[in-house]
Structure 1
Amino acid sequence: MKKKLYIIGSGPGARELLTERALQVLKSCDRIYSTTHRHKTILSGMAANIEECRIQDIPSVLETSDGVNIGLLVSGDTGFFSVAGSLQQRLEGMADMEIVCGISSLQYFCAKEGISYEDIKTVSLHGRQGSIAGTISYNRKVFVLTGGDNKAHLICKSLMEAGMSHIKAVAGENLSMENERIVRGTVKELAGNTFEDLSVLLLENPDFINCHIPLYDRDFVRGEVPMTKEEIRAVTLSKLAVEPDDVVYDIGAGTGSVAIEMARKAYNGSVFAIEKNDAALELINRNREKLGAFNVTVVPGTAPGVFAGIPRPNKAFIGGSSGNMDKIVRELRVKNPQVDIVANTISLESLNDAVSTFEKHGLATEIVCINSAVAKKAGNYHMMIANNPVYVISGKSRQ
């Protein structure tokens, strides 16, 4: 007889939050396994003995189990950042499967706080790497599952370091249990606490930015540092094709105009603005704060020397190479052989340097020359004032 496997969402933890369907299934099972130790204590006496089982051992346990109806308890809801999805794929064909949903930590916590969760952006950093600076920059409310190296207080500290100390925060620890703890305050205030694994965070940014709204030259603090103009930025970003989760370098970032535009495209990712000029560094920081691009990290120094201290890039923009084009491209390709690169140049010598370097390092190269003009009022007339021609050189990794 083919075995029947029930993957059961156990909810946030308390036994009274198990659904009626989950209780019925548990009572019908010959064997019950759990991916976490706490189920053995919380649910003791409700069904057959619960055996703890590591996730990686579940296929072999299912194969050798003498039970016909087998229950597998997983935390939370089976459709909310759950192992249930991956287990379905791994166990396909080994048993008839039924997924039994549970109450998620999001549902429980938002009910506890008396708020709707229909407009909340959800993120899991439990056992994962990444930053939520971009997510909270471009969303009003963000719900975060924490744990491992990304405990709630450490996430709050990282947001403080990104300049977001003012963000409102609510942390929930041991939800639905006797030792449940809810702490409210700012990110700065919560960073002074210590939270256990499997805590959750609800973050609110009243000054969030709509990342889909374009930026104009007039939006930036300019100073005396040259800035890539909006028409050139539009073509450059189109060629670079920045995606939401990308890690991007802006090398020779100037005022930060390209970095901040890229940060809006990489709204779940990160942009590292590399610049050696002190006046430019000050402008990048001012524009970053003014335009709410807190997923831009300012990196003082010269490329490629600063690459060692920052994460591996998916994309890179070279606005200024300081004569180091060959070294920069070589080191970018060392950090990520699949990196895509776009460089902007004005002079023919720099164009030749970029093209020969890209081709030398095996990049599929495309060159576009942009000649743009902007209308300016002259009395009752409009005159077209030409901008300098700019070469946009794209270097795509050969897949």
Structure 2
Amino acid sequence: MKQILIYSGTTEGRRLAEVLCRNGIRCTACVATEYGEMVMERLEGLEGLTVRQGRMTAMEMKDFLTQGDYLAVVDATHPFATVVSENIRDSMAGSGIPYLRLKRDTKSMFSHEKNISCYPTSQACAEALKETAGNILLTTGSKELAVYSRIAELKGRLYVRVLPGLESISLCYENGITGKQIIAMQGPFSVEMNEAILKQFDISCLVTKESGSTGGFFEKIQAAGKNRTKVMVIGNPEGAGGLTDNEVYTELEKLTGKALLEEEKMQISFIGMGMGSLKLLTREAEEKLKEADFIIGARRLLEGIPWQKEKIPYYLAQDIIPYLKESKGKRAAILFSGDTGFYSGAEKLYEALKNETEEGGLRAEVSIYPGISSVAYLAARLHTSWQEAEIVSIHGRAANVLEAVRENKKTFLLVSGVADMRAIGNMLLTAGMEEVGISAGYQLSYPEEKILTLTPGECLTLEEEGLYVCLLENERAERRRLTHGLPDEAFLRGKVPMTKEEVREVSVCKLGLTKEAVLYDVGSGTGSIAVECARLSDGIQVFAIEKKKEAAELIEENRSQYGLSNLTLVRGEAPEALNGLPAPTHVFIGGSSGNMKEILAVLYQKNPKARIVVNAITLETVGEVTGLLKTMPVEKEEVIQIQVSRAKAAGGYHLMQAENPVYILSFFFTKDGKDE
């Protein structure tokens, strides 16, 4: 097959050469300078690629064209290399070979800003510079230095940023620019680097070409805005015409018969944005944002992106995936606050995308670029470590914050806003924990960033809405118990019956709870079983079902004193009260009010694999349950009797006093009937 000739030296040209070679289409890439050759370095060793370095006249281009066997010529040169493009077109006159101009989109969103002026040519810009004062930073390359250096009143004020190649530096000296006036550096340049240069050389006016996101245009604009530096922009000289990336690929598909756009998978980059400020981005993440055809994320994160990109304010998979499937772009960036692996939506979206690609709905590859988490950032601001701390999030989720603070000297807490901060203060005051110290980070990484030192009472007075993360320090933290087992005295009881401590602990063991369990405590009484189970893990959801008013009030009080956000009181009588609840994985039945048969039937309908534990005091209840088990599909049935005796003082002696025996019946529902 004939090959494709690419006049390159740009990112677009390099990208095209890579796609062609990976699809078995040979190509030759012509670059004028050493820098252009360096752009192609990442493709070194790619089969089917030839790189030619060196400038050519129109006649030399024509000779080069006739020496090869080319199917088409793609002009992917810089938008300001208009003379080169003209030479390419002249060299092809009468050849009959298709000419495709790959035109970069350089439209600016900043022309309306007060500190930016636009000019049609370098000459017009140079004339306008006569009316300015102070130092001038030229970032327009070395080719047109003479336009500025020939003006005596400008020459001494010029600082020029050029490539660190012999050709560029020689041109500086030829035009009388020497010594400290030359900044020989190779990009890409971040906003921070541009800002540092503006400050270092006390720049009053920045001159740049309108070269688009690939040319670092928007980083210069943002840096100038931060430094209040005037910007003079030389407009793109390229006229109408030319083709977009996709249009060039489509034309090449027609010529080669290869489905280039279909073969090229969409490259999706998950970007951890840290707290939101671009200065916290990793260099790798920044490069992926610059390369992206479009960027998806929450509005807050999109607002901080300075580059001219299509921005889509989606953050849910149900919105993002359909958009990706319809998009014609090939490079997508999806933004996540903080770090992609720390309480992030990245995990769920990744799984959804993985399923979509496996089912053939989307051809894509996902890469993940982490960011700095708010916890790590706040710890650094507070000059403290976080590896030994408990980390809890109530940002869009429930968690037992009070328990974490009680048991840990350090607890980092992710919150949703100022309402959560006030709730934390109220929670600590209600629990009698006024001594807990609170360090809160407000709008971290943004200009309005504050580090606040607060008491629980002061949290109640906070009014500023915004992003908060905090560190709660409890010098009186208790050591966490590794087993369940609260004494009976730990519960508010009143006159409501309660499962006794020893029976309670055996019953909890028999439940065999798992990390993400959903537990029903039917006939909850004081809620002692519900509280014990909810304290085991924030991941357990507990529903305490209780019909009596006095008992329900005690459950609420016991739930509140332990700060159990994962325990929900359900007022009513089972089985009717079970309607609308999520299916249980585990069930404890401490009281059935004579509805045992109906309760078990409803539980089986909700989850035919649930684990059930029943406490019974009377032989009649034991008989009823064992009789029901003969008619239901269950397995691993177990019945045990437990009787506890307690020593009581009688004068100078201690006598054992027996409690009533309790029967603990446990089993699993099964779809398949009993084991044989």
Pair 1:139–1:327, CA change in 2 (3 A)? farther
1:303·1:328 contact (CA, 8 Å) conserved in 2?
no
What is the correspondence of 1:297-316 to structure 2 with a 5 Å cutoff? 303-304=573-574, 307=577, 312=582, 314-316=585-587
Aligned counterpart, 2:664? 392
Relative distance call for 1:96 and 1:327 in structure 2 (3 A) is closer
TM-score, structure 1 length as denominator? 0.74
Instruction: Report what 1:212 is aligned to.
Output: 482
* Between 276-285 and 313-322, the greater mean CA deviation after superposition: 276-285
**2:338 — aligned with what?**
76
User: Could you say if the C-alpha distance between residues 303 and 349 of structure 1 is closer, same or farther in structure 2, counting changes exceeding 3 Å?
Assistant: same
The residue number in structure 1 matching 2:268 is: 5
Tell me what 2:311 maps to: 51
Give secondary structure in 2 for the equivalent of 1:265: coil
Q: Paired residue for 2:445? A: 176
Q: Relative to 1, partners in 2 of residues 1:359 and 1:32: Cα closer, same or farther, differing over 3 Å? A: farther
Q: Which letter does structure 2 place at the counterpart of 1:348?
A: L
Work out the CA distance in 2 between the residues paired with 1:293 and 1:363.
Answer: 36
Q: Distance in 1 between matches of 2:395 and 2:668?
A: 33
CA contact (8 A) 2:402 2:427 kept: no
The structure-2 alpha-carbon separation of the partners of 1:165 and 1:389, relative to structure 1 and needing over 3 Å to count, comes to closer
Q: Deviations over 1:315-350 (max 9, x none)?
A: 332223343434555666687776543211121101
Check 1:254–1:43 CA distance in 2 against 1; reply closer, same or farther (3 A cut): closer
Matches within 5 A, 1:252-291: 252-253=523-524, 257-269=528-540, 271=542, 274=546, 276=548, 278=550, 285=557, 289=561
Structure 1 residues 58 and 317, CA gap change in structure 2 (3 angstroms): closer
Q: TM-score, normalised by structure 2?
A: 0.47
Unaligned runs of 5+ in 1: none
Structure 2 spans left out of the alignment, 5+ residues = 1-18, 20-263, 358-362, 672-676
- Change beyond 3 A, Cα 1:170–1:255: same
5 Å matches for 1:292-371?
Answer: 292=562, 294=564, 303-304=573-574, 307=577, 312=582, 314-326=585-597, 328-329=599-600, 340-356=611-627, 366-371=637-642
How big is each residue's C-alpha offset from its partner over 1:223-243, in whole Å with a ceiling of 9 and x where there is no partner? 887654444333311221223
Quick check: 2:298–2:313 contact (8 Å CA) kept in 1? yes
Q: Does residue 122 of the first structure (1) align with residue 388 of the second (2)? A: no
Work out whether residues 40 and 50 of structure 1, in 8 Å CA contact, stay in contact via their aligned partners in 2. no
* 2:375 corresponds to 1:112: no
Q: Which has the larger radius of gyration?
A: 2
Amino acid aligned to 1:101: P
Could you say what secondary structure the match of 2:334 adopts?
A: strand
Q: Distance in 1 between matches of 2:380 and 2:494?
A: 49
Give the structure 2 partner of residue 101 of structure 1: 370
- Over 3 Å counting, the alpha-carbon distance change for 1:110 and 1:281 in structure 2 is same
Give runs of aligned pairs for residues 206-245 of structure 1, distance below 5 A. Answer: 206-207=476-477, 210-215=480-485, 217=487, 220=490, 227-245=498-516
Tell whether the 8 Å contact from 2:611 to 2:667 is kept in structure 1 after alignment.
yes
> How big is the shift at 1:13?
1.0
Taking the aligned partners of 1:193 and 1:306, their CA distance within structure 2 comes to: 43
Using a 3 Å threshold, how does the CA distance of structure 1 residues 241 and 126 change in structure 2: closer, same or farther? same
Alpha-carbon contact 1:255-1:287 (below 8 Å) kept: no
Cα distance change of structure 1 residues 323 and 104 upon mapping to structure 2, 3 Å threshold: same
Query: 1:99-152: CA deviations, max 9, x gaps?
Result: 221111121122223332212333444444x343575366424434344xxx45
The corresponding residue for 2:259 is none
Partner deviation per Cα, 1:188-207 (whole Å, 9 max, x = no partner): 64355456465434445544
Higher helix share: 2
Alignment match, 1:153:
419
Count of matched residue pairs? 390
Distance 1:296 1:26, change over 3 A: closer
Q: CA RMSD in A?
A: 4.6
- 2:609 and 2:632 mapped to 1: Cα distance? 12
Local SS of the residue matching 1:42: coil
- Cα contact 2:616–2:622 (8 A) shared by 1: yes
Query: Which structure's relative contact order is higher, taking Cα pairs within 8 Å and 6+ residues apart?
Result: 1
Which secondary structure state, in structure 1, belongs to the residue aligned with residue 388 of structure 2? coil
Matched to 1:80, the amino acid is F
